[in-house]
Structure 1
Amino acid sequence: DALWPRYVEANNRWIRDPAAANLQRQLNALISLPPGSEQRAERAEEAYGQLKAYLMMARPQKADATFLTNALTKAEPVRAGVWQFYGEHLAAHPAWAIRADPKLVAQARQVLLAQMGQRNAQATLYQQVLDMAAHQYPALNLHDMVGATDALTLFSTEASVPGVFTRQ
């Protein structure tokens, strides 16, 4: 018990605070990228995990040990074993919580919402195109695709390819 306060202080100074600063740097890097840039789109999924880990560090009662361990290990692979211990024990030690920067969190959320909204819009549009074309082209089975060639001695399947994905 006598060493616990010193452990908490050392943990915060040498492990927790550098990890939080690293996550903050990465989130700030995402925010500083130009809107609509390819890099911003590419980093969105990774940044989502970084923001989630950052928020878990600020709210230990909501921490998911497995996710947090993986996210921190990805951010700082050198300390993999430390992150497992930290992730598993964070929820039990609310004193280990960081103070999240509300401005950083709000900006990162805004960027991620814009990126994910753009992806959802693209996915919705793609699905609409598929749905419209699905009724215009018949599904093709193996016999339709290989025609007169004698491929049926090599292949056998009852599956078919939806017509929207064929050239016919």
Structure 2
Amino acid sequence: MEKIVGRGFLFGENIDTDQVLPGFAMSYPPEELKKVALCGSSIPDFAERVQPGDIILADDNFGCGSSREQAPLALKSTGMGAIISSSFARIFRKNSINIGLPVMVTDAMEMIKAEYKEGDMLELDVENAILTNLRSQNKYKLTKLSQTTFETLEAGGLINKVRIKLINRGEISE
């Protein structure tokens, strides 16, 4: 898996799925979800500002609230690269991994956020669980993903992972 490089977006704790994707957008077609991603948050213009590879940095309990599968899909559809948080709501984390959106935990979030200056570029090495602030060159340890989770992300999500396994076993063709 290639390293993810992008700017950081800072969020606090308890970012719930209503902030990630408001209820009115639940009926939107998947390709429209990116237009309203995080519009209920402290960065309501996130969808206009985010660029491919950008990384969300958040405190505890990111993705709490309802179990709507569209919330991580809305974030992934913006092109963002990953979410790093002190902790995640269990269902949000699972839904993110299943669609191939890297979500990683760290105990160093206070240090990461204290050092971060708006516009800093970050580099995330998912495989080795290291976040680097490219301005300062400071490195932060993240919780390493299990091999199964890493393989799911590397395949681009659970459906792709299963598809690859079935192709390799000769049970389906490409």
TM score, norm. by length of structure 2: 0.27
Name the structure with the higher helix share: 1
The structure whose Rg is larger is 1
Name the structure with the higher strand share: 2
